[in-house]
Amino acid sequence: MEVTVMLDTGPPPHRARAMPRTLLLTGLFLALAGSITETAGQSATAEAELRRGIDAYVQGDTAAALRLFDRAIELDPHLAEAHFHRGLVLASRADARATNYRDRLEAQASLETALRYDPNNPMYLLELGKLMLKQQIRLDAERIFNRALDAAARADAATLAEVHYQLGLMRETQWLRFSIRHNLPFNVSHLDANAAFRDSRYVWDLLEASMKPGGGEEDRERMLEHFRAAIRANPAHIGANTHLLAYLYDEGMTDEYLAVARQFVRAAPSSPEAYLALGLGLHRAAKVDEAAGAFEVALTLMDPALREDFENIARILSVEAEKTYSSLTPAQRREYERRFWAQADPLFLTAANEFRLEYMARMAYADMRFGIPEYGLRGWETDRGLIYVRYGEPVRKATFAPPTTRTTDMDALGKVTTVWAYGRDGPVFVFRQNPGYRRAVFAGDFEFYAEDYRSRRPAVFTTPSIPEQFDLPVQVVRFRGPNGALDIEVHSLLPLARLGSDAAVAEGEIEFGLFIQDEKAKELQRDTRTEVVAFRGDSAEANRIESWRITLSPAPQYLVGVEARDPLTWRSAAGRVVVPATTFSAGTLGVSDLLLAHDVEPLTAEPVQRHDFRVVPNPAMRYRADEPVSMYFEIYNLLPDADQFASYELELTVTIEEIERKGPAIAKLLGELADKWGLTAEGSDVVQLRFRKEAHVRARDMIPEFFKIQLPGAPEGRYRLKLTVRDRNAGRTVVTEREFRIGNDDGEEPR
C-alpha cells in the first residue's frame, strides 16, 4: 500500500521532528498516528539523554557524555544536536599533535552528520571549520568558515562574532609566520638545533646572514578586518579583543591599543582578561599607578584557581627555591610571595612595585599571544610563554620554513623552526611547531637548556617606568647602639649629574631616601626627601654624599637601600646592601666595622666619641692610585688594669685579593710589591702590608680609633683590610675585615 505524506518545512530537525501534514489514505491513519506517538516519545527520551550528556560533559566526564550522546542518537538518528555535541566532545579531546587523527575523524563525521540534518546552522559550520583547521585542511576550513559567515549574518550577533574571530585566527597564524620569517643562506639547509644548543653565537651569526623576504600583508589585513568585525558584532568578545590587542602591542601602537583596551573593559567589565589587557597597555605607557590598579581589578575578577596559578612565582624561581616554595602551605606561599616581591622591588621610592607589575604584564602578554583556549592552555603554560615570562621580549626572533632537503635533524622534518635570541652571547631558545599550528614546543634538548639557564638566571626584569638605573654606592657601618641596640651609619653617593644629564632646566627636583627592611621584608625605616639641585652652572654638583645614622632593634639581618630619582626623566639610582646583624655584648671585647673614608681627622687632642672626628666617608670604598686610605672604628669593653688604664695593640693587614690588569707583567709587578711590602711567609704568593699601633689610655667602654695608610705602587684591583685588636690586659683578640678597590671610577667622588 502506498502512502504519500507531505511534511511541513517548520523547525529544523535538531529542535523538533517533522510532523505529517496530509494523509491521502485514511485507512492508515491510526497506524501512522501510533507510529508518530511512538516516535515523539523516542524523541523526548533522546532529548533527555542529550541533556544528560551535556551535563556530564560540563562535569568533565567525557566518557559518560559520549555514551549518553550515542544513546540519544540510537533513539533518534535524526537528532542533529546530539551529533553536534558528540562531535564537539571528540574534537575537544583530539590530540594537539599532528598524529593520532582518530578522534578528529570521528568528530568530523559527527559534525558532518549534524550538518546533513541542519545544513545552515552557523555553529555547526563553525565547529567543523575549526576541526578542519586542526587537521590542516585549510582551504576547506576557509570555505566552511565563509559558509558559516553567510549563515551567521542571518543569526545572532554572538555567533557572527565567533565566526569572524575564527577566520581572524586562521589569518593570524599565517601572518605570524610571515612577520618574522627569515630565509636561510643558500649554503645552509636548516637551522641546526644541536649547534644552537652548543653555541648561542651560531644562531646570532645565522640571523645576521639570513634574509627577511617580507610578505603576509594580505593575511594581516584580513586578520584585522575579521577581529574588528567580531568586536563590532560583540564588543565583549574576549578572543577577538585580545588578539587584536596583541597585534597592536607588537606593533607598538600604544594609543590605539589603549583605546581598544578601554572599550574592551567597558564592554566586558567582569572579564579579568579585559583588565589584564588594559594593565598591559598602561604598563607599556609607563602609567604605573593606573596599571597597578587595572591588574589588581583583574586579580579580584579571577576565580580562585586561576588567580593562584597567575600569582604562582615558581616559574621565575631557581629550581632549589621552587622546591622550597612548592613545599609550603598556601598561607606560607602567600607570605613567601610578599617577601619575594618586597625585596625585588627596584625602587622603594615609588608606591608601585615595578618588577611585580612587569611580571603581571608579561603574564598578560603571554596569555594574549601564546594561549590556546581550544586545548585549555593558558599562555604562560606554553614553552614560549614560559620563556617570555622569565626573560621578556627577545632581542631578535625569527621563523624558518621546514627543511626541503634531507637532514640529520629528524625533529626538524616538516616543522617550522622559531628562534629567540637575547643577544649574541645568549641565551638562545629554539622552538618547533607544525605548520599552521599555534603551539610551539622546545626543540631537541632546549627544555633541558632552559632549566639549566634558569639555575643561573631564574628571571630578568626590566620596566618601562625605569628607563635607566645607575648603581648607587652604599657603605654600611655597624656600631654599638644604646641598651643593646645596633647603630648603623649609611653613607651613599648620589650621582646627581647622571640623574639630570638630559634635563633642559638649570635646576630641578631630586627625590632620594633611605630604606631598611628586616629579614622578613618588614620595613623598619623610611626616610625620604625631595630637594632642588642645580644641574647647570657653578653651583652644580656632580655627586653628593648623603649620610644617616640609625638605631635598630636586633634582627638576624637587614636590607639597607639608598635610592635617588629624577621625577622628570625617570632616571634613578639605587644601592642595596644585605647587612648581617651583630651584637656588642656588655663586658665582651668588641670592634665596630671599619668606616672607610677619604679622610679622618681628630678635632680634639683626646677624642672620646664619634663626633670628635671629622670624617669624609668614601661610600664607594674605591680609591685612586696612591691616594691615602683612611678609616675610623670603635673598640668596646677593653679590660682596665688596676690603675684604670687600657692597653691594646692594633694590627692592620692589607692583602691583594685580585689585580684587574692581566698579562706577564703581573709577576714582575707582584715581585716589586713584595720587595716594597714584604711577604707574609716564606714561599707565600700573597702580598701583604702590615701596620701596627699600640696605645695605653684611660679605660672607657668605648675608645674611638683611626688609621690613615699609604699603599705605595698599589695597582688597580681588589684589596682586603684585616684589623686585629688585642687587649693586653685581658689577653683577648677580636677581628674585623673590609674590602676596598683601587682604580678610577666613572665619576669623580667629592672630597
Cell of 42: 523516542
What pLDDT sits at residue 522?
94
Q: What is the pTM of this model?
A: 0.81
pLDDT at 665 over 70: no
CA distance 148 to 587: 89
Give the CATH number for residue 525.
2.60.40.10
Q: Which residue has the cell 589603549?
A: 258
Q: Is the domain of 577 the same as that of 717?
A: no
Would you say residue 383 lies in a domain?
A: yes
- The number of folded domains in the chain is 4
Host domain of residue 562: 469-583
pLDDT surpassing 70 at residue 514:
yes
Structural domain contains residue 665: yes
Say yes or no: 212 and 322 in one domain: yes
**634/693: higher pLDDT:** 634
**CA–CA separation, 560 vs 549, rounded Å?**
12
Mean per-residue pLDDT, 220-245 = 96
Average pLDDT rounded to a whole number, residues 627-640? 94
Residue 172: pLDDT over 60: yes
Query: Using CB atoms within 10 A of its CB, is residue 284 exposed (0-12), middle (13-18) or buried (19+)?
Result: middle
- Do residue 696 and residue 749 come from a single domain? yes
Of 311 and 88, more confident: 311
Which CATH number characterizes residue 345's domain?
1.25.40.10
Q: Please determine, for residue 89, whether its predicted confidence score (pLDDT) is greater than 90.
A: no
Q: Among the listed ranges 137-146, 163-172, 677-686, 703-712, which one has the minimum average pLDDT value? A: 677-686
Check whether residue 325 and residue 232 sit in a common domain: yes
- Residue (of 697, 732, 490, 477) closest to 608 by Cα position: 697
* 595 and 576 within one domain: no
- Separation CA 584–CA 637 (nearest Å): 9
Residues 572 and 593 in one domain: no
DSSP one-letter string for 314-326: GGGS-HHHHHHHH
Omega prior to 427 cis, within 30 of 0:
yes
Residue 137's pLDDT is what? Answer: 75
Q: How far apart are CA 443 and CA 418, in angstroms?
A: 9
Sheet holding 469-471, edge to edge: 469-471, 572-580, 557-565, 507-518, 523-534
Q: What is the pLDDT of residues 532-550, one digit of tens each?
A: 988 776 667 889 999 999 9
Q: Tell me, yes or no, whether 594 lies in a domain.
A: yes
pLDDT at 409: 64
22 has pLDDT over 60: no
Note whether 562 and 611 are same-domain residues. Answer: no
Decide: residue 331, CB within 10 A, 0-12 exposed, 13-18 middle, 19+ buried: exposed
User: If you average pLDDT over every residue of the chain, what do you get?
Assistant: 85
